Amino acid sequence: MGRAPCCDKANVKKGPWSAEEDAKLKAYMEEHGTGGNWIALPQKIGLKRCGKSCRLRWLNYLRPDIKHGGFTEEEDQIICSLYISIGSRWSIIAAQLPGRTDNDIKNYWNTRLKKKLLGKRRDQPRRLHPNRSDEEVNRIGVKNENQTLSASALERMQLHMQLQGPYNPNINPFSFYNSPMLWPKHHPVLGDARVSQIQALSTNHFNVVANPILRGSTIIDDAALTESMNANMIQEDLIGFPSSSSMETSSSNFDSITQGGIQVDLQNLVFNNYDPSLLGNQLLANDHLEELESCKQIYGSEREFASNNFWLACNGLTIDESTMGYPSDSAAMGTTQLDCVPRYEDL
DNA sequence: AAAATGGGCAACCGCTTTCTG
DNA sequence: ACAGAAAGCGGTTGCCCATTT
């Protein structure tokens, strides 16, 4: 037996909202709020709508503080950087952009921003397999996705590689490191001074990030890091999460803070190794094999991005460039080892 | 001028998470 | 601790409008 429907589907109106319906809902909301019950609301105000529909209409359209359209460069940067960091968690991204809704950002990303940032690479599978039929190309793409990276993870890796660039990470305006608005304003344990120090260093050293794998480096000493990790705060706070969620509560939309932290660690492990002259993951990873193993346990079967990157990092997977959107010059042979990612046996 | 196509966006659907008794 | 209800969330759909053929 399935779950009971939230409303009587047969007697509920669907489709676009009329001005009259909007006015009714708006007037009631401004006077009373939901009263804590969206399901009961439509009946109270005589609307033949599902409660969920009312909620959506209010949150995405009628709320007084909503901004529509006209995304700024600054907002683009935030969306892009957060998408790379956490993926399609639109509600979290929306929380960073006052007046924007998750739906709005999702639509904007899917219809415009993604194309703006990745558009030029879309024809690569076709170009890399000029003698294959569309069906074959599609099949290859799907197969490789299943074996290596999901579409979302791929997209984020492509974006990251495209936007950070292997050797010129500091010049790109979308870089996390060049987006001070993404940096923490305050850290409850490390304090403002240390955060400032991290930020200052970050602008000069691509590899310097608030990353537990970097513990023992000159940036964050073990004691401070351990203390902050014990407080379950550092990861979210340092990747620019809403300070209220990390400071006032011990949880957030991540499954747990620790897992969230590991997710970020893995991204950094993979991505911060483009330039071999920089710190280098091998040294870092050697010191933290145990930690990596625990990541593997946690992420072996879930959290596609983290697990994919973990496996990339640990198994040195071969990736088909047709799905990676690699620079065409180096992609002629169809597959390659990602030379920016350390092979497990090399760690 | 009409049909076809594609982009943008609001709204829906159904699953997951959180809340409440 | 548990179950059911409500809310939250992200993926998808479908409509409308502008552009292209």
**Contact yes or no for A206/A170 (Cβ under 8 A):** yes
Per-residue model confidence as pLDDT tens digits over A202-211: 332 222 222 3
CATH of A9-62 among 1.10.10.60, 3.40.50.720, 1.10.1060.10, 3.10.20.30 = 1.10.10.60
What is the average per-residue pLDDT within A148-166?
A: 59
Mean pLDDT of all residues in A271-300: 36
Residues across chain A: 347
Q: Report pLDDT for A66.
A: 84
For chain A, domain boundaries: 9-62, 72-122+149-177
Residue A102's φ and ψ, nearest 5 degrees, are -60, -40
Mean pLDDT of A161-186: 45
* Fold match flag (A9-62 vs A72-122+149-177): yes
* Most confident residue range from A167-171, A186-190, A262-266: A167-171
How many CA atoms does the CB half-sphere of A115 hold within 13 Å?
5
Is the Cα torsion angle A316, A317, A321, A325 positive or negative in sign? negative
Buried b / exposed e across A190-225, counting CB within 10 Å, b at 16+? beeebbebbeeebeeebbbbbbbbbbeeebbeeebb
Asked whether residue A291 carries a pLDDT value surpassing 70, the answer given is: no
Bridge-based pairing of strands A335-337 and A318-320 is antiparallel
Say which residue the tokens 């893995």 belong to. Answer: A266
CA at A73, C1' at C11: how many angstroms apart? 26
Query: With contact defined as beta carbons under 8 Å apart, do A320 and A336 qualify?
Result: no
Report the footprint of strand B: residues with C-beta closer than 7 angstroms: A 13-17, 36, 49-50, 52-53, 56-57, 60-61, 68-69, 103-104, 106-108, 111-112, 115, 251, 253, 255
Alpha-carbon distance A222 to A210, whole Å? Answer: 12
The model's pLDDT over A64-112, given as tens digits with 9 standing for 90+, comes to: 888 877 788 888 888 888 887 778 888 888 888 888 888 888 888 888 8
Q: Which nucleotide is nearest to A59 (CA to C1')?
A: C8
A59's tokens = 């949150």
Instruction: Enumerate the nucleotides of strand B whose atoms come under 7 Å of any protein CB.
Output: 7-14, 17-18, 20
Task: Name which residue leads in pLDDT, A11 or A282.
Answer: A11
Residue A287 confidence (pLDDT): 37
Q: Which of A177, A60, A174, A69 is nearest to A116 (CA)?
A: A174
Distance CA A307, CA A297 (A): 10
The hierarchical CATH code for the domain A72-122+149-177 is: 1.10.10.60
Whole-number Å distance, CA A92 to C1' C16? 30
pLDDT: is A344 or A173 the higher one?
Answer: A173
CA A110 from centroid of its chain's CA atoms = 14
Please check whether residue A322 is in contact with residue A137, taking contact to mean a CB–CB distance below 8 angstroms.
yes
Bases on strand C under 7 Å from any protein CB: 5-12, 15-16
The pLDDT, as a whole number, for residue A64 is 83
Strand C contact set, beta carbon < 7 A:
A 3-4, 6, 15-16, 34, 36-40, 51-52, 55-56, 88-92, 102-103, 106-107, 110, 152, 253
Asked if pLDDT for residue A114 goes beyond 70, the answer is yes
Q: Which of A313, A301, A237, A308 is closest to A272 using CA atoms?
A: A313
Output A291 or A249, whichever has higher pLDDT.
A291
pLDDT confidence bin for A163, thresholds 50/70/90: low
